[in-house]
């Protein structure tokens, strides 16, 4: 197997992950396998969200601490998979369940407040994904090393902003622009949506390169897990934007 992108901004596609798979997996990664596994994970996420949202909302005041724990569990599982890629066929579906718990609650909250917002967010999410596939295939935006570095910094900044918002929230401190419908709040929301959409290009590029390099077949699970993360992220941000525009 050739040396793949050592500087990838997506940790699930680091060369070290491939080395852990190389000697014990059979078969090679394919686009068909990656797509089928992504669809499977999406179905698990949707089924979990539909079945769990009423139970989750019944928690009342305990809901937000539970959501925080769910998010932390998702992050831990994400990085566990990086360290243990041979278990990806097990951890990826579990990760989809965790994503489904979070998505179900957020969808129920926004859906109860604004009619039609959920359907619109779903349409916008997959329309954006389709647009990014077109952009990647036509090379309108090329995934260069500079692009990857810029995206890594942008995503890192967003993660810090999310964490600061959560931590300050536990102490009763609110960042208004993260919640209100001010021009600044809407502008930041749109900027995050753009970064989330561009993240698809990173996913597509690394999946493409791994297929060309005949990466082990279990990388399909890791690729689908990365795509699921981006899809859910974009969907949540579209919900937030549409809610702001309704206000």
Per-residue pLDDT tens over the stretch 203-226: 999 999 999 999 889 899 999 999
Task: Output the six-digit token pair for 71.
Answer: 């998010």
* Dist CA 48 CA 77 (whole Å): 17
Contact 201, 136 (CB under 8 A): yes
CA distances to 64, 68, 74, 101, 160 from 60, in Å: 9, 14, 22, 15, 27
Nearest Cα to Cα of residue 5 among 244, 218, 208? 208
Q: Residue holding tokens 């090393």?
A: 145
Which residues lie below 8 Å from residue 16, measured CB to CB, with a gap of 6+? none
Instruction: Quickly state the pLDDT bin for 5 (edges 50, 70, 90).
Output: very low
Report the DSSP beta bridge partners of residue 216. Answer: 28
**Alpha-carbon distances of 14 from 30, 187, 237, rounded to whole Å:** 18, 33, 27
* Alpha helices (H) along 58-114: 63-83, 88-113
Cα dist from 123 to 61, 116, 132, 190, 245, whole Å: 32, 11, 14, 16, 16
Confidence of residue 26 (pLDDT cuts 50, 70, 90): low
According to the model, what pLDDT value does residue 165 have? 82
Name the one residue in this structure whose structure tokens are 């979070």: 102
**Sign of the CA dihedral running 168, 178, 236, 87:** negative
Minimum mean pLDDT range among 54-58, 88-92, 120-124, 197-201: 54-58
pTM: 0.86
Confidence grade of residue 21 (pLDDT, cut at 50, 70, 90): low
Alpha carbons 220 and 100: distance in angstroms, whole number: 20
pLDDT tier at 10 (50, 70, 90 boundaries)?
Answer: low
Q: Among candidates 109, 71, 81, which has minimal Cα distance to 233?
A: 71
In whole angstroms, what is the distance from residue 36 CA to residue 33 CA? 5
Quote the pLDDT of residue 181: 82
């Amino acid at each position: 197997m050739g040396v793949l992108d050592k500087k990838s901004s997506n940790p699930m596609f680091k060369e070290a992950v491939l080395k852990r798979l190389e000697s014990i997996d059979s078969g090679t990664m394919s686009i068909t396998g990656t797509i089928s596994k992504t669809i499977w994970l999406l179905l698990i996420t949707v089924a979990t969200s539909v079945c769990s949202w009423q139970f989750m909302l019944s928690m009342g005041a305990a809901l937000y601490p539970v959501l925080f724990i769910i998010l932390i569990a998702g992050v831990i599982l994400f990085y566990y998979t990086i360290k243990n890629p041979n278990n990806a066929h097990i951890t990826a579906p579990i990760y989809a369940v965790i994503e489904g718990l979070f998505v179900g609650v957020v969808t129920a909250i926004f859906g109860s407040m604004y009619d039609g917002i959920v359907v619109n967010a779903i349409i916008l999410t997959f329309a954006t994904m389709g647009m990014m596939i077109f952009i990647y295939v036509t090379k309108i935006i090329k995934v260069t090393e500079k692009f990857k570095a810029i995206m890594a910094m942008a995503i890192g900044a967003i993660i810090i902003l999310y964490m600061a918002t959560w931590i300050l929230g536990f102490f009763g401190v609110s960042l208004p622009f993260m919640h209100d419908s001010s021009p600044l709040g809407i502008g930041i929301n749109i900027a995050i949506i753009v970064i989330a959409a561009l993240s698809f290009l990173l996913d597509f590029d690394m999946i493409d390169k791994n297929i060309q390099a005949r990466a082990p077949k279990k990388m399909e699970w890791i690729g689908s897990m990365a795509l699921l993360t981006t899809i859910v992220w974009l969907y949540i941000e579209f919900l937030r934007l549409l809610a702001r525009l309704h206000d």
